[in-house]
Amino acid sequence: MDLRFLVQLGIIGLTFFMLINASAVLVLAERKIMGFMQQRYGPYLVGPHGTLQPFADILKLLFKEELRPKGSDKWLFNLAPLLSVVAAFAAFSTVPWGAETTFFGLLDEPVALGVADLNVGVLVIFAITSMGVYGIVLAGWASNSKYSLLGGLRASAQMISYELSYATALAAVILLAGSLSLRDVVDAQQGTWLGFIPHWYVFLQPIGFLIYVIAGVAETNRAPFDFPEAEQELVAGYNTEYSSVRFALFPQAEYINMATMSAVATDLYLGGWHGPFLPPEYGWIWFLAKVGVLLFTYIWVRWTVPRYRYDQLMSFGWKWLFPASVVNLLVTAALVLYFNA
């Protein structure tokens, strides 16, 4: 077994490990930031300043009794949480998170930081995230409960509506970069304008970035678009009937999806691992910092903006977001044609 294979295996394992821990860290971050925004401490008892709270949460959930409502569909009820968490993990598989590196001369040829690089990478991420909705919809249907069913119905309608804007915003970036591989898109953002403005697509695509973030919040079912769970209306929406480990998988999938959305946004709009001051081998620090900023924004928005009404969500998605993204795509296409011809 050669060294290169082992290193690549190690990168895959590391990505998986980071994603698992991302959900734990995000649970803690969310509760701490929420506490800060509401002028209280948040979890404080477990570990120093409550930093071990996620482990306590996980242990508590593991020891809970597993319940399955009468009349629910046994197979689909078990399948739904697995489906959503597997889709969440799999979606990260084509996201690169660092420049090519030889690990300080350990390897002869540089190896790319990231699980896989495909020449249709962006579309693969999009395809797998669009599979994630089935977990939620099936959970809603299989529970045999009206609240869950309503949550599942809302999730399916919301996903279809916002996927369009999301994909159209992506298409504009792909036009600029001229490649469907995420690594190529990141490398196209190298360098600066006038020596100090980084060559990031967020400056060329400010509207596209905004559309991407809004549609991303809706796709991951986060507040203010958390209609599939909407505590005040639907008890807990699609996961009302779930308990114990199966329940824990849904938030896990949600947090991993958040991390994936932020990582893709970083790769597409914020220049990925390119940034000043650091040599390319340490680019992953920039990457993590940018993802962290985006994740903080996610949490910030959740605890700042109240939930919309469902019909407002639909009319916003179809009457404002989608037309805006189409216009953005058309203008981008015209400009790319003009400047490249």
Partner 1 sequence: MPESILFYAWSGLAIVTAALVVGQRNPMYSVLLLIASFGALAGLYVQLDAPFVAVAQIIIYAGAIMVLFLFVVMLLNAPQEDHAVWDRTHPLRQPGVARWGILLAVLLVVQLASALLRAVELGQQTKGRGDVDVISSVRTLGHVLFTDYMFAFEATSILILVAMVGAVVLARREGPSL
**Of positions 123, 210, 288, 289, contacts partner 1 by CB under 8 A:** 123
Q: Which residues does residue 173 pair with via DSSP β-bridges, in sequence order?
A: none
**Of positions 157, 245, 288, 333, contacts partner 1 by CB under 8 A:** 157
Q: How far is the CB of 271 from partner 1 (least distance, A)?
A: 23
Structure tokens at 35: 């506490």
Half-sphere exposure (CA, 13 Å, Cβ side) for 121?
A: 23
Burial class (CB in 10 A: 0-12, 13-18, 19+), 54: buried
**Of positions 19, 22, 137, 295, contacts partner 1 by CB under 8 A:** 137
Alpha helices (runs of H) in 38-120, residue ranges in sequence order? 53-62, 74-91
Please give the Cα distance from 124 to 121 (Å, whole number).
Answer: 5
Q: How far is the CB of 309 from partner 1 (least distance, A)?
A: 14
Q: Which amino acid is at 156?
A: S
- Nearest C-alpha neighbor of 336 from the set 178, 188, 187: 178
Binding-site size for partner 1 (CB under 8 A) equals 28
Binding mask 172-211 for partner 1 (x = CB under 8 A): --------x-------------------------------
Can residue 163 be called a binding residue for partner 1 (CB under 8 A)?
A: yes
Can residue 76 be called a binding residue for partner 1 (CB under 8 A)?
A: yes
Can residue 131 be called a binding residue for partner 1 (CB under 8 A)?
A: yes
DSSP code of 209? H
**Of positions 88, 139, 149, 294, contacts partner 1 by CB under 8 A:** 149
Cβ proximity of 249 and 85 under 8 Å: yes
**Could you list the residues that contact partner 1 (CB under 8 A)?**
73, 76, 118-120, 123-124, 126-128, 130-131, 133-134, 137-138, 140-141, 149, 152-153, 156-157, 159-160, 163, 167, 180
